[in-house]
Structure 1
Amino acid sequence: MLRILFTSQDIARTRIAGTRDPTWELVLSIQMLQPQPGDALFGIWRREARAALGQAKLGPMGPLLRALNPNVGYFPDFLTPNAAEFGLEEALEAVRCTPRAALARDLAQLASSRALPGEARALATGEPQLLDQFTAAMRTVYSLIVAPYGHRMETELAHDRQRRVSALAQHGIEGLLASFAPMMIWSHGELCIPTHRDQELRLDGRGIRLIPSYFCVSGPLTLFDPELPPVLIYPVPRTVEALPGCDRSGTTLHALLGATRSAVLQTLHGRQITTSELARRAGISPPSASEHAKVLRQAGLVTSCRDRNRVLHALSPLGMELLRRNWQGSSPEWGAW
């Protein structure tokens, strides 16, 4: 669990980012290229992104970027500099100017848990030409797999900012922090994130910048180094308008979620049923039904609740809306299901 400890000064200095953070979105989108919990709505984006990167000429910088951005565990703090709040170019300049000691420390930390390509050793020395090539590759990848989805991202982030600003206006900063429940729990000067690894962050009067993210799906994140300016990145709730691929005519649930998860979602239409009944109706095994329901729940499409010794599953409002829009855009035969 991550515990963030606030003083009265920190509460006064808490703020929400006004725009998307380009380097956090870049890092998280690179991680999203590999499957991870909560990513069920990113299947179409992943195919498009992999195809675009397959055409790019990144050379050894491609494998280096992938190695430095694993989708599980630690990744280097220098990849997401505080300067990113002023734009991508300012952030890339900050990466190029990262002190050698910070590069060496961050890359040694990453190397302690996984093998890194040879270029990582040169990067750790702060070799200027390699840093130029590395940040150029960051710019290229951003232009290919993040920037084309800017409108969808801004739609999601704008909806979230409206919710947070409303909570702030009605109940102050403490109301804003309380609005993040259940993914974050605010109580008596402490913000707790249950899904995070064990970490304690004392703000000590520095305040904190809250950064909503489109590509963040696993839960709120913060920097590894507690001495850096405090930030907290959190996933925004999903709306149908901004789901990858949903703005195209002819896009179906099959293309978005895959055949089995699409079938599970349709099976739940108008019903609240047990795992075994879901398995029977969808034609899959109970363990498979339980796993697919979990993935859809992480994506915000399904809700589950325990009733004595059984679990009942139903569509969430987002799941119902996605299903409705899918039927509207389908053939008469499909819509008549």
Structure 2
Amino acid sequence: MAGTLSIHFTHADFRHVRFARSPDPMWEAILGLHVLATPADRLPARLRAWRGRARERVRRAEVRGAFRLLNDLAPSDASYWPDFLTPAESEEGLAVGLRVLRETPPARLERELREASRHRPLPAWTRRLAAGDRALLDDVAHALHHVHGSLLAPDWSEVEATGAADRARRMEALEGGLGAVFASFTPFVWRDPVLSAPYPVDRTIHLRGRGLRLIPSYFCHTRPVAIADPRLPPVVVYPLHPDDPPGPPHTDRQDAALARLLGTNRARVLAALATTRTTGDVAARLALPASSVSGHLTVLRDAGLVASERAGLHVMHRLTARGRHLLGR
């Protein structure tokens, strides 16, 4: 049964809203596994492509074992999974997050696994974990590390670049105030002082001056996910690429006018950046030489229509607000 997540702000909370600079590696490991477990026809196109690549990687025995262990704790259809799997400290990196996970106090393990058992039957081995079995907890940390390294790391530069592009859009919206930023988050709805979104169950969070940390997620694709324990700092993970309704399609006449304005190939390059891409991606998509695409991107960037940011070994390109406006998106 579908519900609503309602987050209630006070004036004090607005001073403590934080926007994560990039997706969180431990959240992404869990949510990436959820994508693998989701039928392809229920995923957006960008994640169908990733799922196809990742399913080849998950055929290895050690990856399958990690998948099964983590799926026992945090299945894709769960309305709750233990918060100790996604510690706040992982914002400092995967190594720090895994260290904190390994140090989870036994009382917290017991409390959160007991809560999980209220929502669904748990396998027998989780009783030993709930009792504080440190070797099992180390196995959980190893599984997360293995999933991240085997399934996510090959595409992590794209994940980070997409997060950077999302952050730039939020900062543009900030010119209209924090309420305008909240209004820019799909599938959230902002009605001062409540931020709400679809959720598996009805849930209300009163921030009470603690503020809120918002984390973008490449693999979260339907609705946001919130930290469950009200004693922990409030955290909400939101989809980086919601399936927004498309804008009005260009007519042939508009496309022809854009081609006359920019040149045919330059207009094609601009349109190809409807999603964040590398130079090579654009070149392959349009069957153009990479050197030619690079030149077009330079001109479009100088005109303020495209922004480029380095992410690991790649440079990622995205439309600016001006570029989206020119394309009618």
2:53 matches 1:53: no
Determine the structure 1 residue equivalent to 2:304.
Answer: none
Secondary structure of 2:125's match? helix
Aligned to 1:64: 69
Does 1:35 pair with 2:41? no
Q: Secondary structure at the match of 1:57?
A: helix
How many correspondences in the alignment?
A: 255
* 5+ residue gaps, structure 1: 239-298, 305-316, 331-337
Deviation at 1:65, TM superposition (A): 0.9
1:305-337 CA-to-partner distances (Å, cap 9, x unmatched) read: xxxxxxxxxxxx999968x9998459xxxxxxx
Residue 242 (structure 1) aligns with: none
Mapped partners of 1:13, 1:38: distance in 2: 36
Distance in 2, matches of 1:59 and 1:44, equals 20
Deviations 1:15-71 (A, max 9, x none): 100122111101100111111585132233223222222214258554221111211
SS at match of 2:58: helix
CA pair 154-104 structure 1, distance change in 2 beyond 3 A: same
Report how far residue 175 of structure 1 moved. Answer: 2.2
Within the candidate set 193, 215, 218, 1:214 is matched to 218
User: TM-score, normalized by length of structure 1?
Assistant: 0.68
Q: How much does 1:103 deviate? A: 1.2
Are 1:91 and 2:97 an aligned pair? yes
Alignment-derived partner of residue 147 in structure 2: 141
Whether 2:159 is the aligned partner of 1:153: answer yes
Paired amino acid for 2:222: S
Q: Identity of aligned pairs, percent?
A: 36
Equivalence for 2:49: 44
Deviates more, 1:107-116 or 1:226-235: 107-116
CA contact (8 A) 1:28 1:215 kept: yes
The aligned counterpart of 2:138 is: 132
After superposition, the CA RMSD in angstroms is 2.8
> How do 1:181-200 residues align onto structure 2 when only pairs under 5 Å count?
182-200=186-204
Q: Which amino acid aligns with 1:53?
A: V
Aligned ranges 1:1-337 → 2 under 5 Å: 1-35=4-38, 38-41=42-45, 42-57=47-62, 61-72=66-77, 73-168=79-174, 170-180=175-185, 182-237=186-241, 299-300=243-244, 328=286
**Relative to 1, partners in 2 of residues 1:60 and 1:144: Cα closer, same or farther, differing over 3 Å?**
closer
- Which 5+ residue runs of structure 2 have no aligned equivalent? 249-269, 276-281, 289-329
Rounded Cα–Cα distance in structure 1 between residues aligned with 2:202 and 2:146? 34
CA contact (8 A) 1:211 1:234 kept: yes
